[in-house]
Every structure is written in C-alpha cells, then in structure tokens.
Amino acid sequence: MKYCYYRIYQLIKKVKTNDTPAFSALLLLVLVQTINIATVLSLFRYFTKIEFVKHNIVIGGLAISFIFLGVEFKVLFGKINGICKKYENETKAERQKGSIYVISYILLSLIFLFVVGETLV
C-alpha cells in the first residue's frame, strides 16, 4: 500500500489547487479500500443469504472506514517523506507503469463495485 499511496500522492500533487496532497491521497486510498471491502461484503451477503439491517450496514461501513483511516494515517501519512525517498529513484518507465497500475486499481475497484451491486440487486 505504500507504493500505491506514493503514486496517488504524486498524481494529486500535480493539482495546483490542492493544498494537502498527502491527506487527499490518504483519503482516496482509504475510500478505494472501503469500496473493495463493501464489494467483498456484498458478495458474502449474496452467497450466504444473510440479510443485514441497513442501519447496521451504514454503521459498520463507517466504522471500518474510520478504522482504516486511523491505521493508514498512522502508517502512511506521517511517513510521506520517507516513502517519497524510497521511491524517488524510479525511472520514467517505472513511474508510468506504476501510475497505470494505480489508476487501473482505482477504476477496476469502482467498476467491480457497480457490477457486483448491479447483479446483487
């Protein structure tokens, strides 16, 4: 996840109106992780035929998101300079490949959520 955070950070840092690229990258990473967990839980619900109360789903989803945010904040956010130093010697080809992987990861996570959500309704 460190490399993913670094790539997202580098991409967001290019946006001139963004004053906090490190925090924005952290929020985007946590959002994608939450989307992936929601997808897995939807599949679990579908295959086990267990019904959840919507109220519990919302509270559970928010709890999981805040837990991820807290863990990622502690692990990644405060160490952005060290993470940048670790990956700053990337070649241009490695950087492009990494950016393609991260953008693909984000887009595929969203697409998979909508495909799973569409088939489970």
| Rounded Cα distance, 14 and 23, in Å | 14
| Rounded Cα distance, 74 and 65, in Å | 14
Residue 11 and residue 99 in contact, taking contact as beta carbons nearer than 8 Å: yes
Domain extents for the chain? 2-120
The candidate with the shortest Cα–Cα distance to 8, out of 77, 92, 74, is 77
Residue 97, pLDDT score: 92
pTM of the shown model: 0.80
Task: Tell me the pLDDT of the chain (121 aa) as tens digits.
Answer: 788 888 998 888 888 888 888 889 988 988 898 888 888 877 887 888 877 776 777 777 778 888 888 888 888 877 888 888 998 888 999 989 998 999 999 999 999 888 887 665 5
- Helix pair angle (54-75, 21-48), 10° resolution: 140
